Amino acid sequence: MRPTDFARLLTEFFNNYLQKQRNVSPNTIKSYRDAFRLLLVYLQDKGIKPEKVSMGTLSPELIQEFLAWLEVERKCSIASRNLRLNAIHSFFRYAQLDSPEALLNYQRIMAIPVKKKPSAIVSHLSPEGVRKLLEQPNRYTANGRRDLALLSTMYDSGARVQEIIDLTAKDFISGSSAVLVLTGKGSKTRRVPLMMNTAFILKQYVVENRLDAPHRMDWPLFTNHQHRKLTKEGVAYILKKYAAQASGISTDVPERIHCHMLRHSKAVHLLQAGVNLIYIRDFLGHCDIKTTEVYAKADTETKRKALENAYPELVDPNLPNWSDDTELMRWLSSL
């Protein structure tokens, strides 16, 4: 069977453009792959087999129907919908160089806008909540000591969960000024300092598991029972387990928690300590200061809620009902 122009372009897009020309991260490639896998599933549901899909099949109207299908049928969030659209935009930016005669159709697809999503307040733990969470692992067991080192490192470094599970033993540099070398989005690396307590816990964990041996420097820093590096699901399971324990004894820890919440908590705590947003941006590995500004908004929201709680004690809430003043109402009506 002769391959279609879509099959040829998609193969070149992944093998040449993304990997060799753009040098994008493996996670980005996986995300783009999932977007086109879902697109092929959608087309198959419509009776179009994957081997029959051509560039002419992909009209702007069809792409918009696919995006609606993601939200309605697949129950995807707006963020996930926009992520799939970004992959499609990137593909058609590449494809337009190959087929100038189809430029108008491709540009119409590239003009499909991302969907605006409501800005949510960043969820984070208080310093007391973080302390309660880190008190839960059992320090008398090997798994408990690993979990303590894992959660302490996640919070103190403000790392993304993927950055944590990608850590190797050599990425932890101990000493009087301990640092962690993180590899983030776009394979960009950054060095973040660790507080003394976290560095001590992590050093003890490394020594206990003999990860400081020269031949183990490329081994994963955090592993599961099979001695393989942890997965995102594994880290989420560990975090939720201790959050459930902590929430039973303290209201500072919510029952529902996610891995990014520790990263959010570190950022907000740095901001509350008076650290400049520029430094927090570099610490978290953000490319744009606007991404970091959401933490300033989160801190402002915390202060607003505190003022609202104090407000009834300062001002009598039993204010007069102006609609009862007939003279005033008559005067307002005459204006």
46 is catalytic: no
160 is catalytic: yes
269 is catalytic: no
CA distances from 90 to 11, 17, 22, 43, 93 (A): 14, 10, 11, 20, 5
**Residues near 94 by Cβ (< 8 Å), separated by ≥ 6?**
9, 12, 13, 17
Q: Is 205 helix (H, G, I), strand (E, B) or coil?
A: helix
Strand blocks (E) in the chain: 172-173, 179-183, 189-193
263 is catalytic: yes
Q: How far apart are CA 181 and CA 104, in angstroms?
A: 45
295 is catalytic: yes
- From 81, 84, 263, 269, active-site residue: 263
- From 108, 131, 170, 185, active-site residue: 185
81 is catalytic: no
Classify each residue of 202-215 as buried b or exposed e, where b means 16 or more C-beta atoms within 10 Å of its C-beta: bbebbeebebeeee
- From 84, 269, 281, 286, active-site residue: 286
- From 84, 132, 160, 269, active-site residue: 160
**Residues near 242 by Cβ (< 8 Å), separated by ≥ 6?**
133, 136, 137, 147, 151
Active-site residue set: 160, 185, 260, 263, 286, 295
